[in-house]
Structure 1
């Protein structure tokens, strides 16, 4: 990924925060899914602090090519590891873990439903075993708004105690249910092995580190916009969701790593970022100067779509710890479109 000036400025807004980075001194910090949208930004932040505070960052992903593309500049404090978390970790030993690896978009859910479940359960177990044996670090499991399922119509926003409806007979439910099992697995390790962990439940994330093969609606809107094409909406757009700019998501994960109460889950969402899908499409189209058109999804893609019609997160709990989102939806969209446009321009010139 090309680090634009806008991206580096956003990264700097996290780096200047007064987190107790010294707690990481001497540790090996593992980031799984390190070439993904959230994991790559998180890795960039950690590597930027690793030299000053003398710790190592282990960036793990299934493919070395993706890692080298995500991190073209080497640092003596960064180790790239190609490994499938669904296999035993072998000689990898890290007591501090940010588990961000997961299938996170509709086409992946429908084409690889087994792998989706395995990463959120078997892969997680492999890492929990490693971390619980390695020492006294902290484990961060990146969970999702998807664990709430369908709003039963009894609340306007989900707090951390809410439990909605999931149709477990659908292929799509593999993601939701496995994230739920993953959270339960963390609780089991916390109870039986006294593992220190915290769980950020992320809303729908977007930002300049998004991958082109991501089939989420927001991502498709953004790539259509930066290429000057009309935005394609594959439903009536009445779904009401919470969104979060990737820099806020990463900042929240770090805040919870340093400040979150052990064995707790926290909702994470952006500022003024609850919006219908149609309104979102219109905002992106207005920023990019394109139109919105409607087109129904094909059968494969539709199997991976969420059935939720209202999934808004209440972030009162994380706010009580002192964290606040920094980016409004409009600001995040403009920054993402600017950065993606700059990246595409640089790639064309190269």
Structure 2
């Protein structure tokens, strides 16, 4: 089932009206390649080679070789894909002529913010520095930095949906800020390298993306819900369920990432999210139970879990304004129901 859904997603992605031919005979380095979001970009590039014969060489920079070999098992005998195993926080050991760099290596799960704040911020700052340094050694066509909607902090209600130039309160002395503050700095570094060295840097800010390949034990509520459904157990909510989030399906988000990489303006940031799929956590739980009525699952409200490593967000509502990326021709297409149905089925 997962193979069928992934192939359908990839067909939809490459059917997007983008200048895919610009990738022909190019080399693309993707940091954090086996992570949830960048892995679908790897899949897309490999699919372009298979369907359109673009002869793209994909270099996946990864820290965990075993995880990467598992995620990319289908590509191990292909000459157009190889792994570069090292920590992105160390100088990048790559002498290839690189055309595109996608920097997505980051600890995105909140469970790491409390247990490994130094590791969390290092990939976003030291890793960004190392990849920008590598980029300057090449005649780069485009550099894409994966930031986050977390950079907005706690914006006032009147600024939601949130435009790219609206920011709220973020406490630098709150441990959870190790992620958002370092993403902010990563963005500033990209802008600085563009301004001083003319490096063609672009930034995406993903909003609550879900789909095949996401970790079901990373602590985020929608991953917990999918894990509950797959285990045929009631969906458990450990809050009042009133916080709202705008959820974006992985195939839609991947189209957005490539749209910015290929068509985005240098030195600019773009929201990538689905503003039409903003929903409360409680409503999401209820909808998911109705998607699979044969399982006869209920929604159960629990006491908050005692997990000292997981630092919860104080943001009660998060929704992007996607007007800016829409001018590049991108719009998300997948509904909550269809996206989460495909997600659950993809894990079977």
- 1:223-242 maps to which residues of 2 (within 5 A)? 223-242=227-246
CA-to-aligned-CA distance 1:6-45 (integer Å, 9 cap, x gap): 2211111112233222222232101111111111111000
Q: Give the conservation status (yes or no) of the 8 Å contact 1:97–1:139.
A: yes
The answer for the alignment partner of 2:79 in structure 1 is: 76
Aligned residue pairs total 339
CA-to-aligned-CA distance 1:313-335 (integer Å, 9 cap, x gap): 11111111111112111111111
Give, in angstroms, the shift of residue 265 of structure 1: 0.6
Q: Give the conservation status (yes or no) of the 8 Å contact 1:29–1:58.
A: yes
Q: Give the conservation status (yes or no) of the 8 Å contact 1:271–1:329.
A: no
Among 186, 201, 204, which residue is 1:182 paired with? 186
Distance in 2, matches of 1:105 and 1:280, equals 20
The answer for the alignment partner of 2:57 in structure 1 is: 56
Q: Does 1:300 align with 2:308?
A: yes
Greater shift in the superposed pair: 47-56 or 307-316: 47-56
After TM superposition, the runs of 4+ consecutive aligned structure 1 residues lying more than 6 A away are: none
Among 305, 314, 320, which residue is 1:313 paired with? 320
Structure 2, unpaired ranges of 5+: none
Among 133, 140, 158, which residue is 1:136 paired with? 140
Question: What TM-score comes out, normalization by structure 1 length?
Answer: 0.93
CA-to-aligned-CA distance 1:260-283 (integer Å, 9 cap, x gap): 111111111126211111111222
Greater shift in the superposed pair: 274-283 or 48-57: 48-57
Distance in 1, matches of 2:155 and 2:47, equals 40
The answer for the alignment partner of 1:346 in structure 2 is: none
- 1:98-109 maps to which residues of 2 (within 5 A)? 98-109=102-113
Structure 1, unpaired ranges of 5+: 343-350
CA-to-aligned-CA distance 1:215-240 (integer Å, 9 cap, x gap): 21111111111111111211111112
Q: Does 1:12 align with 2:11?
A: yes
Q: Give the conservation status (yes or no) of the 8 Å contact 1:109–1:175.
A: yes
The answer for the alignment partner of 1:345 in structure 2 is: none
Among 146, 152, 164, which residue is 1:148 paired with? 152
Q: Give the conservation status (yes or no) of the 8 Å contact 1:138–1:196.
A: yes
- 1:162-177 maps to which residues of 2 (within 5 A)? 162-177=166-181
